Amino acid sequence: MNRPALAVLGASAFCFVTAETLPVGLLPQIAGGLHVDEADVGLLLTSYAAVAAISTIPLTALTMRIPRHTLIAISMAIFVVSQGAASLAPTFLVLSGTRLVCALAHGVFWSIIGPIAARLAPPGHAGRATALVFIGNSLAIVAGVPVGTALGQWLGWRVAVGTVAAGAAVCVVLLLRVLPRLDPLPHDRETRVGAQLRASVAIIRDRKVALLCATTGILVIGHFAAYTYIAPLVRRDGGLQGFGLSALLLGYGGAALVAGYAVGRHIDRRPGPAMTLLLAVLAVAVALLAPPLGPVPTVLATLLWGGAFCAIPVCLAATVLRIAPRARDAASAVYVVAFQIGIGGGAFVGERFASAGRLGALPLLAAGLALVALAVVVSARSVFPARLDDAAEADLAAVPVH
């Protein structure tokens, strides 16, 4: 397993996740600095997700013939430019525009990072390689968002955004140095762009892929409806703001890191039980936040929420590689679209609830949709089997990845 390359991929994921979710922690600072409402800043996640969702499939199809190591470096370079511009944005409109440019790179980045990780791993270890890369996602919650939030509260949100851009620039250099040459697979090199686009759209007709995307969309809508407004939620429930909010977000990410590591050890063998347990814990934890609880119960429930939810994308990304082994990029693109629809839809629904003064209903919505996703997972054993047998692993390992 090429651990240095996987580490750089994880660092790149860290930058993307930190930048995408940083407005959650800096909601008041961005709103005050650009003279807009907090609810408007929450919509930054909606517009970002909408552009990523619309552009992912066509851009993935258009870039199929580009070597994977080059394409992911280009995606990160676009990220660096957009984040640098965001740190200098004079108005909320300009800030929104820079994030939309970043969203164009976002879809391509997340469509190819899983297949790249799989190509860097030995046969039968694609899930574990994906889990190692997704440690970057958890670290973004552990360190990126809380440290970025603290930095933004101390020196201003522009400094926080600019720091993420600088870190991403380092990742671009490292990607070019440590990633091995990853040429497109023969089928991707020989297929025309139009055919690639049709194949990317047609993959949703695959029953397993459709069930995975349905599970993803339902779950993520609920999560981001509540998570986008975690700052006002914990301020209401536990009086946490400023340093207290940063510390809570740090703990949220720490729980995510532990859960992600634990799940990564089992995802290549027992995906069904892993998803079932995580969804059940998520539903209970987030439902506990509906009534005002006081500081200690709020912190405990939030930590359980963070650990459960942030480990779930590890399972979902590994599932994409497993259920569509011969169309990984296309299936990953469709999965990314489902995830972005969930983020954008969740942020939009959350804004509607928050604007209507129904902040306390958001945790109940998230819990309810987590239970719906749990029902889908339990009923879709072909997608989330209780155990992966050796035959299934051998079939996956037979796919040419180099």
Which tens digits make up the pLDDT trace of 262-294? 776 667 678 888 899 999 999 999 998 887 777
* Global confidence as pTM: 0.75
Q: For residue 402, is it within any domain?
A: no
Residue 257 and residue 138 in contact, taking contact as beta carbons nearer than 8 Å: yes
Going by pLDDT thresholds of 50, 70 and 90, the confidence category of residue 221 is: very high
- What per-residue confidence (pLDDT) applies to 401? 38
Q: For residue 344, is it within any domain?
A: yes
- DSSP-assigned letters across all residues of 198-223: HHHHHGGGSHHHHHHHHHHHHHHHHH
Task: Give the residue with greater pLDDT, 44 vs 155.
Answer: 155
pLDDT tens-digit profile of 185-216? 665 555 565 666 776 667 777 888 889 999 99
Q: For residue 214, is it within any domain?
A: yes
> How many Å apart are CA 270 and CA 388, to the nearest integer?
6
Q: Tell me which residue range forms the domain holding 24.
A: 3-397
- What per-residue confidence (pLDDT) applies to 396? 42
Q: For residue 112, is it within any domain?
A: yes
CATH number at residue 304: 1.20.1250.20
- The Cβ of residue 94 has, within 10 Å, a number of other Cβ atoms equal to 14
Q: For residue 249, is it within any domain?
A: yes
Q: What are 358's two structure tokens?
A: 């129904």
The whole-angstrom distance between residue 152's C-alpha and the CA centroid of its chain comes to 22
DSSP class of 184: P
Residue 245 and residue 231 in contact, taking contact as beta carbons nearer than 8 Å: yes
- What per-residue confidence (pLDDT) applies to 394? 38
| Rounded mean pLDDT, 237-242 | 62
Phi, psi dihedral angles at 221 (to 5 degrees): -55, -50
The structural domain count of the chain equals 1
- DSSP-assigned letters across all residues of 305-366: HHHHHHHHHHHHHHHHHHH-TTSHHHHHHHHHHHHHHHHHHHHHHHHHHHHTT-TTHHHHHH
> How many Å apart are CA 392 and CA 124, to the nearest integer?
9
- What per-residue confidence (pLDDT) applies to 187? 58
pLDDT tens-digit profile of 164-188? 999 999 999 999 999 998 876 665 5
Task: Give the residue with greater pLDDT, 56 vs 71.
Answer: 71
